[in-house]
Structures are given as structure tokens and as C-alpha cells.
Homo-oligomer: A and B are copies of this chain.
């Protein structure tokens, strides 16, 4: 499959792109916001497309055209305000879902946040962020797309272990970004993950086993 990675320059995205490219099964298209980010990927032989999540649905649809799956792992991050959370994490996701519908891309994977479905467990210090993720996830669930919503725990930069725990409801935990990226890759064509949302933290199962248990 040709897989559009939205947020290719983000920390999960940078793990995911080479994994997809080296999978042998899929081709990664790195969607980035700036030309210079594209140049860096292009130098590694990765196909790129420049598009801005603050742009129009039409621009995003043009960027996505020809792909067979979309992974949304973009976020405005902690350095900008909640204005950007509304425009990127919420509306950017909403527009990307509309773009997928527009060009007929059926498969859509969302990288969300642990317990985004469950207001009781939203961290008080970043509740507004969880609200944005919550509704982005709800939008995807209400779309006609074949979705998978992966809600990882606290993201770590340490190397992945390949051992995870995936379940509909895990109230706390953390996971290396590399293992999140590996799980996204494994979920792409794993039918057990279709139209499902799950929390993901480090655990004892191989990723393949963890997804089988969903």
C-alpha cells in the first residue's frame, strides 16, 4: 500500500517513515509542512508531499491522492497554544478525514492519546488537548472509513522493545515512540484492528500477539 504519513516530521512520524519504507510491503509518502523538511526526506529516497494541515480540504485531498492509507500522527505539540490544538489536532484531523473521503482512501489510522475516550482520566494540566483528541477520534469513528485509533501512553524516546500491551481500556502507562510506530505499521493491514480503538502501553506481548488479542 501507498501510505500517507501525516505528521512525518513529528517524533512518531520519524520512526514510522523508515519502518514503512523498509517493510517491503508498503511505500511511505511523507507529508510535511515545509519544503526543507521534504528535502531531508527526499535525500533519504523517501517520497514526499508538501501540504499544510491549516490549508483547505482540497489541498489535503490533492496531497493524499493516489495513496491507499493515511496515518495521522500530526499534532501542534507543546510549544504552541491551544489555538493550534484546535486548528491542527482537531480541525486538521477533521479535514484529513474529509480529504480521505473525497479521494476515496478507505483506510485511516489515528495516533491518539491514552484514555482520550475517557474524560475521567484526562490529565488536568492538559485537559483541552485531550478534548481535541477525543473529538478527532469521534469524528473518525463516525466517518465511513475503515479506522484504527491507537491511543499510546506517555511517549518515551528510549529504543523500542517490541513488547506491548493493547486493550480497550488501560488507565496508565508509557511506551517508546518506536514501539508506537511499529504498532502502527503492524495495524495497517491487520483486520483485527479495523474499526477499533485501543490504548497502547509497553507490555509483555509481541506487537502481532497484542493485536491478535483485540
Q: List chain A positions with a Cβ less than 8 A from chain B.
A: 56-57, 81-87, 90-91, 94-95, 119-120, 127-129, 131-132, 134-135, 138-139, 142
Contact = CB atoms under 8 A, between A and B. Distances in A.
A195 B67 CA distance: 35
Contact of A86 (B56, B57, B86, B120): B86
Nearest to A84: B128
Contacts of A120: 56
A138 B87 CA distance: 16
A199 to B, nearest CB: 20
Contact of A127 (B87, B129, B131): B87
Contact of A82 (B86, B94, B95, B138): B86
B119 A86 contact: no
Nearest to A86: B128
Contact of A131 (B57, B91, B119, B128): B91
